[in-house]
Every structure is written in C-alpha cells, then in structure tokens.
Amino acid sequence: MMKSDYRIETLAQQTALSAFALLHLVEPSFPVEDWDALAAAGSGWTCVVAQDQQGYIRGLAVYRTRRHPVAGDLMDVPIFIAASVADDAGIAEQAFEWLRNRASRCSYIRVWSAIPKALAYMQDEDAFARWDHGLIYRVQSKAPPALL
C-alpha cells in the first residue's frame, strides 16, 4: 500500500475497541480501564488512528499539547504505533505528518521511545518534565514573508 491509502482521523467510538486491540498487542500490560479513561472525551488527550481502505486500524497515536519547562509548547506523544507487514514506514510517515500539521503552534514534538504501561505514568509531571525519553523533533516555524 502507498501512504495515501490511509485515513488519519481522531478516534471515533466505533474504532476505540480496535485501537485498544492494537495498543494491547504492542503493550499488553496497558489496562483497559486506563484506555477507557484516555479515550474518553475531556481526558485532555487526543487519540488518532490510521485506517486502511478496508477500515482496519493500522496505526495509533495519542498526544496532548502542553507547556514544557524547557521546550516551551510541546506536543507530547507517548503512544505512536504503526503496524503493517507491508507498509509500517508509510503509516508512520503519514501519521507523523498529520501530527506535525497540528503542532504548528508548538516548538517541539516528542515521541516517547517506549510506550507507557499505564495512564498514570503518561500523566506524571516528572515524566512530562524529563527531556531524555523520546525522539525530539523541532517544529519548523513558518518564515515571515520577505520584506520588499
């Protein structure tokens, strides 16, 4: 599949169970109760899925944007999964591009290097303040128009 074959969208109620199944495949100890709280409206987190043309969930990202003590405005992505035998790179690329487009007001995006085992760790202020547990991507600010 080519990357244009994936639909990236925020989690809908009808895809929540399939998204959890993907998360559970990668991190089996993540509790279903934590997933329910994470995926609930008003949790402060946004869950995004990548679906193929048949409607199967092939990717999952969970993020929130907050002010980091070192980085400033940060899109924090503790869960980022791309799962496909044939095109995991294409799924990851398209999902990351979707995130990057929504991080225009942020200085950085941080994708955690390990998926947390519980929601409590994702929400831990000390874990959030750390700067050593993920891939840090600088969001390029748009250049101001040239002065003539």
Is there a contact between 91 and 98 (Cβ–Cβ < 8 Å)?
Answer: no
Q: What is the pLDDT of residue 39?
A: 93
Helix (H, G, I), strand (E, B) or coil at 77: strand
Q: CB under 8 Å to 106, separation ≥6 — which residues?
A: 65, 72, 73, 74, 75, 139
Q: Are 31 and 118 in contact (CB under 8 A)?
A: yes
User: In the prediction, which pLDDT does 92 show?
Assistant: 95
Q: What is the model's pLDDT at position 96? A: 96
Tens-of-pLDDT digits for all 148 residues of the chain? Answer: 444 589 999 999 999 999 999 999 999 999 999 999 999 988 999 999 999 999 999 999 999 999 999 889 999 999 999 998 889 999 999 999 999 999 989 999 999 999 999 999 999 999 999 888 899 999 976 544 454 4
pLDDT at 20: 98
